[in-house]
Structure 1
């Protein structure tokens, strides 16, 4: 939990990147570090409070592709598409940047760490680099090489093979061969000698994606596991010196038996060089798609007394499989399978991007086993062993979050939970888990919309309905299900205050469809059942039957539940726009829905109004005045006005003449209200001093406007350090009777709190607080949104923040710093 003076970062929701080396576990700290967009997220997967991500680290400028802890040291290494290599150091309470290296010329694709002496990186520029740690902890380049022209490394694995500083480096990539290199590292880790390509092993039929070494002490040898896009895992045994079989030198016979030995020498500085030989050990078949991750049993890697030679594999077929060799036959068999059943016919080759991208296998201090895997949705799956021999695993609560930038954040009408939209084509509902607990933690409780288009905006119509707009020309209206309403009441003490009997029980996504259907609305006439209708009916029946699953949960839903059982049914589509939707807003009563779309001309730079009480009919009046895309819309708290701001640097203020008829009157078209694009606007709460709203612009200014009978007058402005991308006014009555509180987000990711004393004749913005950069996002703030009421006995404001770094963050702010 991160606290800075009066501001506490209560929650961070951010999804893991789709990369093979994106996460690593540090047992000493009980810590998982994973790459999430261009930030590093820190999470304790076995913490009792189930808080999730508790901190993020910022340094990378592009997506992070790999993270590895340095065993036995306070350091870990992160690499990314920005070609940076960053070394982080644990300073006790937090991690700080120890060293940043810019060496590679392209995205770093793979990373391998074996000990505190050396690690390797591979890049899309075709080069592989070896790095050594000096006595002061600094990292220095000690060797670089290319395997061959037009070869790009995808997987690396380092292994030390004696006490004289001799290492092997296995390299897999964009050929079918597996390359082995040997080298000797100097005692001060500053240089290497006798660097040679020891072998180029054949067998795989597609690109090699993952590699993992283990020391097989029982047989005094090493095993290298390789997984490839050919869906197979190959095991290669490395024998040293006297363990090499030299009894049969008939090369032809060895090749025909597929038992060729790849022999080489190492430790060439010694008077008698050492010998080594790789031979093919086993072919493991069982996955239906690319093999993406390999991990040996952690007891072997940690030199535990109760060793088990087992191998964990993850695949794009949504399976995690544990393999073990049968002592009698020597055949490697699957002894446990976790994950999901894959969809028939769906594979990476056919365009599917599902399944798992990496896996981890670790022990806690009590030797309990955990398996962790991240998938296409950005969420982790965490499996906990339920017996001493780990024959059974149970899925448990892990972190969830979006994988692309957050575009909108909206609180519920009662302010107890909020919903966020993202370019990862999802709409997610977040709420605090409080029931039956001594503390509060925020979690994702539903995924109302899983769409085929990037999601852009949304707003609440009533307590049970919301409207959303994606990167398409259509607005869609959704209604909460009875199962989610019950879930929020049970675990969050949130009462939707609706007639639950009128709500749909659950929803499902039909085959080849974009529209979620309510389970209690689908029915098929006897004798007129097509195959597609039958498939859809089966989906609906399954959704109805599985509704009981949510009722039996003892906590927030897991990723499996979120994807399958927490959809909201779509009840209406709203047409009329000519281009992609950019923003939407609903009146306080929920009757009127205003929306706008992208535009380069006045023809489409209009606001369209829909009546939710008249079959969501589009009203005849178009609100015209702008010449470029409208970026934000908002109704005043009393429903009397609608403000629209635009890329054309102007705003239009409309008065609602008759809500029942949907008639509007233009109060003012304020041209050049700012000197650059106006990104956002927000209304002040109702008060005795008049009607006020705030605008924020790329010109680095925030402005406060007061409405007279005929126009909006500028009464205060302030310059900030960066372009303003979002503004939000706290909506409860003025905190101290006269003071307006405003949050300001910028293009750099900074967040500030301002206030304006409305009683003063000469009004001006006063800076109350700047959020510490440690707890702010790593990119542009797309949306700030206050919960409309005070929390925790009226002592705290709750601010939800959506950012381009794909994170949703929840902050609690002490009332004292804004009053």
Structure 2
């Protein structure tokens, strides 16, 4: 009888692509593109539920198809550098896996697909699905899915321009689809389906640089559009039905400019106005998303909150003030990365209930924050999946078989170990340390002791590393292995941790006496260059769970003890 084999851990991260490579479904599954696959991550269980394979190139965009009734999604659409889209359909029973998922390829684009969106044209998901996709061939294609067949029904040409994001919705009080496209012309193009064809109806100017993200939200009888661009600004537009008779009064002498258009099919006039301009980011804003709507008392409710991600390393929650109605940055809700060799965020998402937010960093890492139950203004980092953002070149077990170390061409060495919780029987694996963050692509690895390894990179130098005292203590706390088993007679001589000099490649050991003591408040300090830019970034912390990404970036290094 053959022994059963099951996957207990998948280490991966999101692709380094802007345009929505991460999507959080109402069923609690986080879908993201990782290399050529679409990974479905179950946040509650902290494990990868499934890996959907079908693309022959990098996955650039992933989107759950939202149901109108607020139920959990059963369909997912992805686009990749292989010039095709794939519609993944789940039969609604059992768990997501390759056996229970039917895939429908949509081929036609001449270049890589960079953005996608889809909406159901009725409350019945089985009837008709409308899909919009943008690609590097300067076109937006409209697809229609009936049953198990999908075909391209229209191609929108954009000349030599590029569309960075697309979003579909319906005009207020109707089933008339409206498509918003944002691109490198710094304008939002609105297309409305009339007589079966999408016609360009309006162009919304205002942004002064490439538009990176757009998203619709239905709130009562109104339709809102949020857009973000490389001009560091976020704009919110409002679409509403315009009354045929509006008497002019003296109070109407100063009003916002309205863009008015009429839909011939329904003979209804609509007005679009600029609701607000949000300035708070200091670099390109790559993504903006509304908090997902939810079903309450038989109707869908849309919270007026948006989340934005920027290259300034911050993620901000915005919402209108209850008294004045002015959109403001929510007090104390600005999270992100501090320090490390990072370059900001590509994307962000709200959880279905809005109690958690996730951000996709430039280097592929996912950051998860959860709202505190007592103090609603406090957001704390949570454990989330992590892995190499480029090819894995080598992997080794430690001599006792209690953890694994891997190296990759993303210039990092990562250590994975099981997390054993006291009150839970299930054990999950996580990245608990990043012993080496290098300046060259890593190529090879060998374990030479209980907590020692040697690694090689493109620089053609072999470096030997040994675990510091702080790592061994945290390794014991996370894995549940007693300290007596881990400590050797040499452990008393181990350094506390390690740090990398600003212009160096070698991890320098940090001993207990090296760590600077914080001066008292009344003590006078000299503002010297060395005080402004300290060499020691390491701060010893006792962990009881896997560390978040910003801790892994610079606080889990191992000191280098030999160079060959």
Alignment TM class, shorter chain as reference: 0.7 to 0.9
Q: Aligned partners of 1:388, 1:222: CA distance in 2, in Å? A: 33
What is aligned with 2:520? Answer: none
Work out which of the residue numbers 325, 331, 334 in structure 1 matches 2:329.
334
Q: Aligned partners of 1:246, 1:126: CA distance in 2, in Å? A: 44
What is aligned with 1:99? Answer: 104
- Contact kept? 2:22, 2:63, Cα under 8 Å: yes
**Cα offset, 1:511, TM superposition:** 1.9
- Contact kept? 2:172, 2:222, Cα under 8 Å: no
Is 1:557 the counterpart of 2:547? The answer is yes
Q: Aligned partners of 1:159, 1:13: CA distance in 2, in Å? A: 36
Aligned with 1:86: secondary structure? strand
- Contact kept? 2:316, 2:333, Cα under 8 Å: yes
- Contact kept? 1:11, 1:54, Cα under 8 Å: no
What is aligned with 1:122? Answer: 134
Work out which of the residue numbers 167, 178, 197 in structure 2 matches 1:168.
178
- Radius of gyration: which is bigger? 1
Aligned counterparts, 1:614-629, within 5 A? none
- Contact kept? 2:117, 2:166, Cα under 8 Å: yes
Aligned counterparts, 1:212-231, within 5 A? 212-217=215-220, 220-231=221-232
Is 1:141 the counterpart of 2:152? The answer is yes
**Per the alignment, do residues 291 and 201 of structure 1 end up closer, same or farther by CA in structure 2, a change over 3 Å counting?**
same
**Cα offset, 1:140, TM superposition:** 1.8
**Cα offset, 1:320, TM superposition:** 1.3
**Per the alignment, do residues 54 and 315 of structure 1 end up closer, same or farther by CA in structure 2, a change over 3 Å counting?**
same
TM-score calculated relative to the size of structure 2: 0.86
Deviations 1:451-470 (A, max 9, x none): 11111111123223221111
**Cα offset, 1:471, TM superposition:** 1.5
Is 1:151 the counterpart of 2:161? The answer is yes
What is aligned with 2:521? Answer: none
Deviations 1:705-724 (A, max 9, x none): xxxxxxxxxxxxxxxxxxxx
Work out which of the residue numbers 264, 272, 277 in structure 1 matches 2:271.
277
Deviations 1:365-408 (A, max 9, x none): xx562211121332221222223894332221111111111000
**Per the alignment, do residues 489 and 243 of structure 1 end up closer, same or farther by CA in structure 2, a change over 3 Å counting?**
farther
**Cα offset, 1:509, TM superposition:** 2.3
Aligned with 2:455: secondary structure? strand
Aligned counterparts, 1:52-451, within 5 A? 52-72=47-67, 74-91=74-91, 92=93, 93=95, 94=97, 95-115=100-120, 116=125, 117-134=129-146, 136-147=147-158, 149-162=159-172, 164-184=174-194, 193-217=196-220, 220-242=221-243, 247=248, 259-266=256-263, 268-270=264-266, 273-299=267-293, 308-335=303-330, 336-340=332-336, 354-363=343-352, 367=353, 369-387=355-373, 390-434=376-420, 436=422, 437-451=424-438
Deviations 1:85-125 (A, max 9, x none): 11111133324233112210100011112335312100000
What is aligned with 1:478? Answer: 465
**Per the alignment, do residues 236 and 242 of structure 1 end up closer, same or farther by CA in structure 2, a change over 3 Å counting?**
same
**Cα offset, 1:60, TM superposition:** 0.7
- Contact kept? 1:422, 1:454, Cα under 8 Å: yes
**Per the alignment, do residues 69 and 244 of structure 1 end up closer, same or farther by CA in structure 2, a change over 3 Å counting?**
farther
**Per the alignment, do residues 300 and 512 of structure 1 end up closer, same or farther by CA in structure 2, a change over 3 Å counting?**
farther
Deviations 1:3-31 (A, max 9, x none): x9621111100111123311222223x21
**Per the alignment, do residues 381 and 243 of structure 1 end up closer, same or farther by CA in structure 2, a change over 3 Å counting?**
farther
- Contact kept? 2:179, 2:190, Cα under 8 Å: yes
What is aligned with 1:567? Answer: 557
**Per the alignment, do residues 368 and 279 of structure 1 end up closer, same or farther by CA in structure 2, a change over 3 Å counting?**
closer
Structure 2: any 5+ residue segments left out of the alignment?
68-72, 517-525
Count how many residue pairs are aligned between Structure 1 and Structure 2: 528
What is aligned with 2:523? Answer: none
Work out which of the residue numbers 12, 30, 34 in structure 2 matches 1:36.
34
TM-score calculated relative to the size of structure 1: 0.60
**Cα offset, 1:163, TM superposition:** 5.7
Work out which of the residue numbers 9, 12, 23 in structure 1 matches 2:10.
12
RMSD of equivalent CA atoms: 2.9
**Per the alignment, do residues 248 and 508 of structure 1 end up closer, same or farther by CA in structure 2, a change over 3 Å counting?**
farther
